[in-house]
Structure 1
Amino acid sequence: MNTQLLIVLVLLCACIGLFIINKPRMDVVALCVIILLPLCGIMSVQEALLGFSDTNVVLIGALFIVGEGLSRTGISFRVGDWLLRRAGNSETRLVVLLIVAVVVLGSMISSTGIVAIFIPVVLSCASRMRVPPSRLMMTLSFAALISGMQTLVSTPPNMMVDSALRREGFEGLKFFSYTPIGLVVLVLGVGYMLVARHWLNGTDKAAGDDDGQPAGDGALVGSSQRRLQDFITDYQLEGRAHRARVKIHSPLVGLKLRELTLRQDYGANIVAVERRGRFSDELREPNSGLELRDGDVLLIDLFREGADIAALCRAMSLEPLAMPEGYFTDESRAIGMAEVLLPPDSGIIGKTVPEAALRRRYGLNVVGLRRGRKALGPVALDQPFHAGDTLLVIGSWKAIRRLQRRLEDFLVLTMPAESEVVAPALSRAPYALLSLAVMVGLMVTGIVPNVIAALLACLLMGVFRCVDLTSAYKSIHWPSLVLIAGMIPFALALERTGGVDIAVNGLVNALGDSGPRVLLGGLFFVTVATTLFISNTATAVLMAPVAVTLATRLEVSPLPFAITVALAASTAFSTPVASPVNMLVLGPGGYRFIDFVKVGLPFSIVVLLVCMLLVPLFFPM
Structure 2
Amino acid sequence: MSGAAWTTLAIVFGAIVLFASEKVRIDLVALIVLVLLVVLGLVTPDEALAGFSNEATVTVAAMFALSLGIERSGALEPLGRLLARVRKPWLLTLALMLAIAPMGAFVKNIALVATFLPLALRVCARTKTPPGRVLLPMAYAAQMGGVCTLIGTSSNLLADSLAQKHGLPPFGVFEFTRMGALLALVGIVYLMIIGRWLLPRHIPAEVGSEAELGKYVTELRVREGSPLVGQTIAEATLGETYGVYPLELLRGEQHLWSPREQRVEPGDVLLVRGDWEKIEDLRTRAQLDIDPENRYGPEHGRTRVLVEAMVKPDTTIEHHSLGDVDVSREYDAIALAIRRRGEVLRESLKDVRLVGGDVLLLLVGEKSVAAVRSDERFVVLSERDDVRRTPRRAIAAIVIMAAVVALSGLHALPIPVAAIAGAVAMAIAGCYGTRDLYAGIDWKIIVLLAAILPLGTAIENSGLSKALVDGGMQLIGSHGPLGALLMVYLLTALLTELMGHNPSVVLMVGIAASVAHAVHADARPFVVAVAFAAATSFATPVGYPTNTMVYYAGGYRFTDFMKVGIPLIAMFCALSMFLIPTFWPFQP
Give the whole-Å Cα distance in 2 for the aligned partners of 1:546 and 1:473. Answer: 35
- The Cα offsets for residues 149-185 of structure 1, whole Å up to 9 and x where unpaired, read as 2000111111111011111221011111111111111
- The Cα offsets for residues 183-220 of structure 1, whole Å up to 9 and x where unpaired, read as 11111111111131232234653322xxxxx2338999
* One-letter identity of the residue aligned with 1:443: S
Over 3 Å counting, the alpha-carbon distance change for 1:207 and 1:497 in structure 2 is same
* One-letter identity of the residue aligned with 1:100: L
Alpha carbons 1:51, 1:485 under 8 Å: kept: yes
Residue of structure 1 in register with 2:492 after alignment: 527
From 441, 446, 458, the equivalent of 1:476 is 441
Residue of structure 2 in register with 1:215 after alignment: 209
Give the whole-Å Cα distance in 1 for the aligned partners of 2:40 and 2:216. Answer: 42
Alpha carbons 1:135, 1:200 under 8 Å: kept: yes
Matches within 5 A, 1:93-108: 93-108=91-106
Alpha carbons 1:149, 1:181 under 8 Å: kept: no
Does residue 400 of structure 2 align to residue 443 of structure 1? Answer: no
Residue of structure 2 in register with 1:456 after alignment: 421
Over 3 Å counting, the alpha-carbon distance change for 1:391 and 1:507 in structure 2 is closer
Alpha carbons 2:75, 2:395 under 8 Å: kept: no
* One-letter identity of the residue aligned with 1:200: L
From 504, 514, 526, the equivalent of 2:469 is 504
Over 3 Å counting, the alpha-carbon distance change for 1:466 and 1:450 in structure 2 is same
Comparing 477-486 with 415-424, which one deviates more in the overlay?
415-424
Over 3 Å counting, the alpha-carbon distance change for 1:105 and 1:222 in structure 2 is farther
* One-letter identity of the residue aligned with 2:16: I
Residue of structure 2 in register with 1:144 after alignment: 142
Q: CA RMSD in A?
A: 2.6
Give the whole-Å Cα distance in 2 for the aligned partners of 1:184 and 1:567. Answer: 12
Does residue 493 of structure 2 align to residue 538 of structure 1? Answer: no
Alpha carbons 1:491, 1:542 under 8 Å: kept: yes
- The Cα offsets for residues 466-492 of structure 1, whole Å up to 9 and x where unpaired, read as 122111111100111111112110011
Residue of structure 2 in register with 1:5 after alignment: 5
Over 3 Å counting, the alpha-carbon distance change for 1:203 and 1:177 in structure 2 is farther
CA-CA distance at 1:494 after TM superposition? 0.5
Alpha carbons 1:134, 1:200 under 8 Å: kept: yes
Residue of structure 1 in register with 2:90 after alignment: 92
CA-CA distance at 1:5 after TM superposition? 1.2
Matches within 5 A, 1:170-209: 170-194=168-192, 195-202=194-201, 204-208=203-207
Residue of structure 2 in register with 1:63 after alignment: 63
Does residue 556 of structure 2 align to residue 591 of structure 1? Answer: yes
SS at match of 2:167: coil
Give the whole-Å Cα distance in 1 for the aligned partners of 2:165 and 2:150. Answer: 17
SS at match of 1:602: helix
Give the whole-Å Cα distance in 1 for the aligned partners of 2:530 and 2:97. Answer: 23
Q: What is the identity percentage for the equivalent residue pairs of Structure 1 and Structure 2?
A: 29
Residue of structure 2 in register with 1:211 after alignment: none
Give the whole-Å Cα distance in 2 for the aligned partners of 1:128 and 1:419. Answer: 26
Alpha carbons 1:27, 1:479 under 8 Å: kept: yes
CA-CA distance at 1:518 after TM superposition? 2.6
- The Cα offsets for residues 82-108 of structure 1, whole Å up to 9 and x where unpaired, read as 2223xx222222222211211111100
Alpha carbons 2:132, 2:205 under 8 Å: kept: yes
Alpha carbons 2:130, 2:203 under 8 Å: kept: no
Give the whole-Å Cα distance in 2 for the aligned partners of 1:219 and 1:440. Answer: 42
SS at match of 2:498: coil
Residue of structure 1 in register with 2:114 after alignment: 116
Give the whole-Å Cα distance in 2 for the aligned partners of 1:146 and 1:522. Answer: 22
SS at match of 2:84: helix
Gaps in structure 2 of 5+ consecutive residues: 219-283, 285-298, 306-330, 333-363, 374-384
Alpha carbons 1:56, 1:160 under 8 Å: kept: yes
CA-CA distance at 1:392 after TM superposition? 8.2
Over 3 Å counting, the alpha-carbon distance change for 1:126 and 1:9 in structure 2 is same
Alpha carbons 1:75, 1:429 under 8 Å: kept: yes
Give the whole-Å Cα distance in 2 for the aligned partners of 1:20 and 1:519. Answer: 26
Alpha carbons 1:223, 1:417 under 8 Å: kept: no
* One-letter identity of the residue aligned with 1:159: L
Give the whole-Å Cα distance in 2 for the aligned partners of 1:506 and 1:431. Answer: 53
Matches within 5 A, 1:351-362: none
Residue of structure 1 in register with 2:394 after alignment: 429
CA-CA distance at 1:442 after TM superposition? 0.6
Give the whole-Å Cα distance in 2 for the aligned partners of 1:451 and 1:222. Answer: 45
Over 3 Å counting, the alpha-carbon distance change for 1:496 and 1:116 in structure 2 is same
* One-letter identity of the residue aligned with 1:139: P
Kindly tell me the number of residue pairs found equivalent between the two proteins.
437
SS at match of 1:201: coil
Alpha carbons 2:497, 2:542 under 8 Å: kept: yes
* One-letter identity of the residue aligned with 2:566: L
CA-CA distance at 1:36 after TM superposition? 1.1
Alpha carbons 2:70, 2:394 under 8 Å: kept: yes
Residue of structure 2 in register with 1:550 after alignment: 515
Gaps in structure 1 of 5+ consecutive residues: 209-213, 225-372, 374-386, 394-403, 406-411
* One-letter identity of the residue aligned with 2:440: S
* One-letter identity of the residue aligned with 2:436: S
Alpha carbons 2:31, 2:452 under 8 Å: kept: no
Residue of structure 2 in register with 1:571 after alignment: 536
Give the whole-Å Cα distance in 2 for the aligned partners of 1:535 and 1:162. Answer: 17
Alpha carbons 2:537, 2:544 under 8 Å: kept: yes
Residue of structure 1 in register with 2:40 after alignment: 40
In the superposition, the TM-score normalised over structure 2's length comes to 0.70
* One-letter identity of the residue aligned with 2:499: I
SS at match of 1:75: coil
SS at match of 1:578: coil
Give the whole-Å Cα distance in 2 for the aligned partners of 1:182 and 1:416. Answer: 41
Residue of structure 2 in register with 1:360 after alignment: none
Give the whole-Å Cα distance in 2 for the aligned partners of 1:222 and 1:446. Answer: 53
